[in-house]
Amino acid sequence: MRSGRSHPLAVLALLTCAACASSPGSDARRTGTSTAQPANAPSAAPSAAPSANASLPTADLTPDPVLGKALVEGLLAVRAGNPRRAVDGSFNPVVNAYEMRYRATPGRIYCARTMAEATRYMQDAVRNHQPARVVEAGLVLAYVYRGRELMTLDDLAGAQAGLERARALSPANAAVLLQLGAAYKAQRKLPQAQEAFQAAVDAADLSPPETKPQETADAFYGLGSTYVAMGRLDEAEATYRRCLKVLPGNALAQMELSEIQRQRAQSR
C-alpha cells in the first residue's frame, strides 16, 4: 500500500454495505435470529427477564434503520471530501449510541455481518462456557468507517484504538482486520500488520457473498505489501499471485509484482 489510507473497501462498496445494514429486507442470513425465544431487535432495550436459555449464546442480526441511515450519511460526507464532518457528525455519534446500548448487556457482545459469522461466535462462546449475545454489525462498521477517515486525518493512534475495539467485537470480520492491518502498517508496526492481514485472509470465508471476493483480494494485497515493507520479496510475490487468482487483472497487484521484479533486477 502506498499511503496511510488503506486500499481495501472502496467508498462505493461501503455505501452499499451500509445501505444493506439499514434495510429491513436484508438477506435472512444476516437478519435471522438464533435463540429459543426471538431476541429483541438492537434498537430495543435488552430484556432483564430470566429464562431457561439465559446462559446460552443468542444471535439477532436485525439492523437498526436509524443508525444505518446515519452511517450512510457519514459515507456521503466522505464521498463529498469532508472526512472531519463524517467522523464528528456521523461515525462518532453512531459508535457512542451503539456502545451505550450494549453497555448493560450481560455476557460478551459480538457483532456479525452474516449468520455464518454469528455461528462462529456462538460456537466459541459455548466452547468457552461464556454467555454471549451476537448482534448486527452496525457498531463495527462505524469503527471501520471512522478508522479510515481518522487515518486520512493523520490520527493513526485513534484509528488503531477504535479498530482494536472493533476486532474484540468481531474477531472474524475481514473488513475490520483489513483496516486494522492498514493502521498498523501506516505506523510501521509491521509484525502486527502481517498478523492482522493474515487473519483477514483466514476470515474472508465468512464475509458476505457480495464483498467476499474483494475482501479476499484486499487481504492478500495488504499481506503482500507488508511482506514488501519487511523485505520478504519471495513471500510478497507469492501473496500477490494469490491476490490475482481471486481477482484476475487486479491492477495494483500486477503493479506490485512488476515493482518486485524491478527491485530484483537492480540487486543483481
Distance CA 124, CA 132 (A): 9
Task: Give the model's pLDDT for residue 220.
Answer: 98
pLDDT tens-digit profile of 151-196?
999 999 999 999 999 999 999 999 999 999 999 999 999 999 999 9
pLDDT above 80: residue 13? no
Report yes or no: 136 and 63 within 8 Å, Cβ to Cβ.
yes
Which pLDDT value is given to residue 18?
A: 47
Domain ranges of the chain: 11-35+55-196
Residues forming beta bridges with residue 153, ordered by sequence position: none
C-alpha dihedral, 117 to 167 to 56 to 120, nearest 10°: 30
Give the H/E segment covering residue 134. strand 132-136
Does residue 44 register a pLDDT over 60?
A: no
Least confident of 5-19, 62-76, 103-117: 5-19
Query: 76 or 1: whose pLDDT is higher?
Result: 76
- Which pLDDT score, from 0 to 100, does residue 32 have? 53
* Overall average pLDDT of the 137-149 stretch: 98
pLDDT level of residue 40 (50, 70, 90 thresholds): very low
**pTM (2 d.p.):** 0.81
Q: What pLDDT, on the 0 to 100 scale, is given for residue 251?
A: 94
> Worst-scoring range by mean pLDDT, 53-67, 114-128, 152-166, 196-210?
53-67
Q: Is 86 left (phi over 0), alpha (psi -120 to 50) or beta?
A: alpha
**What pLDDT is recorded for position 29?**
41
Share of the chain above pLDDT 70, in %: 80
Domain 11-35+55-196 - what CATH class?
mainly alpha
Quick count: other Cβ atoms within 10 Å of Cβ 250?
20
pLDDT value, residue 218: 98
Q: What's at 4, amino acid-wise?
A: G
